[in-house]
Amino acid sequence: MNDPHVDSLHYSIRHSEGIDYAADAEDPVKLGLVAGLARPGGNATGVNNFAAELGAKHLGVLRELLPTAARIGLMVNPTNPNVEGVTKDVTAAALATGVQIDVVRASDSREIEVAFATLVRNRADALVVGADSFLTSRRLQLATLATRHAIPAVYNSREFAEAGGLMSYGTSLTEVYRQLGVYAGQRA
């Protein structure tokens, strides 16, 4: 899988008896962590915040804000297991609306700087930041760079807006983690 978090969950769920697991994973069915969302099976339960599935909606929100935007950037973390699906969904939505998508990739702070330089050079009208835990951890850097370069951006969680980002559409990570605590408490 090439994602240490997902790999460790796979191993733990399959090789531990009598230990319950509560986790937050993007598309746990696709990742093979659980049999289904309604009935995960085994000793696993969790929360799916469906952030990866909202890329096309993020593009739509930007189009409502900036109806004349012709070129929109999509920032993704190339190490995220959902990167192909997110990129495909946003690109398809952009094609349907006549918008050009510039995909930029960043998996460290320096690459975020390079990605913004590319967006500025290509004259992106706006930016969609893909759902990713690394990108969320760099929300202050992302919001600051978007403001500095006057690139309106939409993010997948309210924590970005709280850090100074223009707008978000998605799940409250605080609520996701609160719910994980509730599940863990119920299974204890």
pLDDT of residue 10: 59
pLDDT value at residue 7: 63
Residue 113 has pLDDT above 90, yes or no: yes
Q: What percent of the chain has pLDDT over 90?
A: 48
Rounded CA gap, 4 and 26, in Å? Answer: 14
**Which of the given ranges, 13-17, 26-30, 103-107, 166-170, has the highest pLDDT on average?**
103-107
Find the helix or strand (DSSP H, E) in which 96 lies.
helix 83-97
What type of residue is 27?
A: D
For residues 25 and 31, the answer to whether their CB atoms sit within 8 Å is yes
Under 8 Å between Cβ of 59 and 99: yes
Neighbour count for residue 122 (Cβ, 10 Å): 13
- pLDDT of 55-78, one tens digit each? 788 888 999 999 999 999 999 999
Q: Which residue has the higher pLDDT, 138 or 16?
A: 138
Q: Torsion angle of alpha carbons 37, 44, 155, 116, nearest 10°? A: -120
Does domain 52-171 fall under CATH 3.30.9.10? My reply is: no
CB neighbour list of residue 34: distance below 8 Å, 6 or more residues apart: 28, 40, 41, 42, 44, 46
Q: What does the pLDDT read at residue 71?
A: 97
> What is the separation of C-alpha 143 from the centre of its chain, rounded to a whole number of angstroms?
15
Its pTM stands at 0.74
List where CATH 3.40.50.2300 sits in the chain: 52-171
- 79 falls in which pLDDT band (50, 70, 90)? very high
Residue given tokens 């975020």 in the structure block: 112
